[in-house]
Amino acid sequence: MKVTKLNIVRFASKGDGSFIDTVTARVQEYFSVSGTSPYANRGMWIKTILMILAYFIPWILIISNTGASHVMLFWLCWFVMGCGIVGIGTCVMHDANHGAYSPNRKVNVFLGHMMELIGGYSVNWKIQHNLLHHTYTNINGLDEDIDSVVFLRLSPRQQWYWFHRYQYLYAWFFYMCMTLFWMTAKDYLQVIRYKRRNLLVKHKISLKKAIFHITWYKMFYYGYVLVLPILFSGQPWYFVVAGFIVMHFTAGLMLACIFQPSHIMPHATFPEPVLENGKRCIKDSWAIHELATSTNFAPRSRFLTWCIGGLNFQIEHHLFTNICHIHYRKLSPIVRETAAAFGLPYHVKRTFWGALKDHARMLKVLGKNQLAR
Q: Give one DSSP letter per residue of 162-230, joined into a string.
A: GGGGGHHHHHHHHHHTHHHHIIIIIHHHHHHHHHHTT-SGGGT--HHHHHHHHHHHHHHHHIIIIIHHH
Q: pLDDT 10s digit of each residue in the chain, 373 long?
A: 444 455 679 999 988 889 999 999 999 999 999 999 999 999 999 999 999 999 999 999 999 987 566 788 999 999 999 999 999 999 999 999 999 999 999 999 999 999 999 999 999 999 999 999 999 999 999 999 999 889 999 999 999 999 999 999 999 999 999 999 999 999 999 999 999 999 999 899 999 999 999 999 999 999 999 999 999 998 999 999 999 999 999 999 999 999 999 999 999 999 999 988 888 899 999 999 999 999 999 999 999 999 999 999 999 999 999 999 999 999 999 999 999 999 999 999 999 999 999 999 999 999 997 654 4
pTM: 0.93
Which class for 230: exposed (0-12), middle (13-18), buried (19 or more C-beta within 10 A)? middle
Q: CA-based diameter of the chain, in Å?
A: 69
Q: How far apart are CA 106 and CA 112, in angstroms?
A: 10
Give the chain's radius of gyration (CA, Å).
Answer: 21
Using DSSP bridges, classify how beta strands 296-297 and 10-11 pair: parallel, antiparallel or unpaired.
unpaired
Helices then strands, counting H and E runs in the chain, come out as 19, 5
Task: Please return the burial class of 101, using the count of CB atoms within 10 Å of its CB with bins 0-12, 13-18 and 19+.
Answer: buried
CA within 13 Å, CB half, 138: 28
User: How far is residue 331 CA from its own chain's centroid?
Assistant: 20
Which residues are bridge partners to 279 per DSSP?
A: 276
CA separation for the pair 121, 43 (Å, rounded): 27
One-letter amino acid at 11 equals F
Strands (E), the chain: 10-11, 274-276, 279-282, 296-297, 348-349
Collect all residues with Cβ–Cβ distance below 8 Å to 102 and sequence separation of at least 6. Answer: 39, 40, 96, 108, 111
Domain range list for the chain: 10-149+172-366
